[in-house]
Amino acid sequence: MTFLLKKFGLVIEHSKTEVFYFSRSHGTFNPPPLDLTTLGGSILWPRNMWQYLGFIYDRKLTFWQHVDFYANKAILTIKCMKMLGNLTRGLILTQKKLLYRYHILPIALYSFQIWYYNKASLSYPLKVLRSMQWRVALWILEAFWTSPSSGIEAIASLISIYLHIQKLNGKFHLRTHSLLTNHITRLLLEARSLVNTKAHWYLLEWLIPKQWLKIKGPIMDINNMLWQPLVTKTNNYTRQ
């Protein structure tokens, strides 16, 4: 890596370099330490978690720590909002719902696209977020802790957290239409999304069927949402 960057005229500063191991293997993953003493550095011991630009990575890229961190941050924000009410009268129910929708929910769902995508395991993230929204419903209605989660959310007029994520994810996919034609996201989609633009080497259309079935990620979700309705309409028209 050092030799390759030197060919581009770049120099690595080992004091500012960060290296992290990633693996999606199902078994235990214990990477060995990386010895950089020959390059004038030290021995790098692997860590279980890495935080960079607000994203929290783990070795298997499940992003469970990321979900836990921002869900707990949202709950802490709820506790701090109790100070917004005065001594004689606290916040009314409508004010609490607005605070949750515009201030707390964006914190809990910060960059949810990194863990919500095609073929991703959603059991743990949804469990944590449902627990967070249940505590929000208790705060809004000032109800007992023994109240059922689904019933109290309906009384508080809160949409299911799974349906809310689906709505935000759909808006995120549709926003791709507003990107420039030479944007890296547009270049990775199928060729019919390109207009007078050179196709990228990693274009999805060039994948073999076996790779197409195994690939997963937000790029595949965007491609399916943009072009699958078009394919369905074309097939229906052909049958007629």
Instruction: Tell me what pLDDT residue 207 has.
Output: 65
Query: What are 1-19's pLDDT values in tens digits?
Result: 777 777 767 787 777 777 6
User: For residues 67 and 63, what is the distance between their CA atoms, to the nearest angstrom?
Assistant: 6
Instruction: Tell me what pLDDT residue 232 has.
Output: 42
Domains in the chain: boundaries: 19-24+32-61, 63-173, 179-234
Query: What are 91-143's pLDDT values in tens digits?
Result: 788 888 888 888 899 999 998 988 988 778 889 999 999 999 998 888 888 88
DSSP string, the chain: -HHHHHHTT----GGG---------SS---PPPEE-GGGT--EEPP-SEEEETTEEEETT---HHHHHHHHHHHHHHHHHGGGGS-SS----HHHHHHHIIIIIHHHHTTTGGGTSSTT---HHHHHHHHHHHHHHHHHHHT--TTS-HHHHHHHTT---HHHHHHHHHHHHHHGGGGS-TTSHHHHHS-GGG-SS-PPPTT-GGGS-HHHHHH--SHHHHHHHHHHHHHHHHHHHHHH-
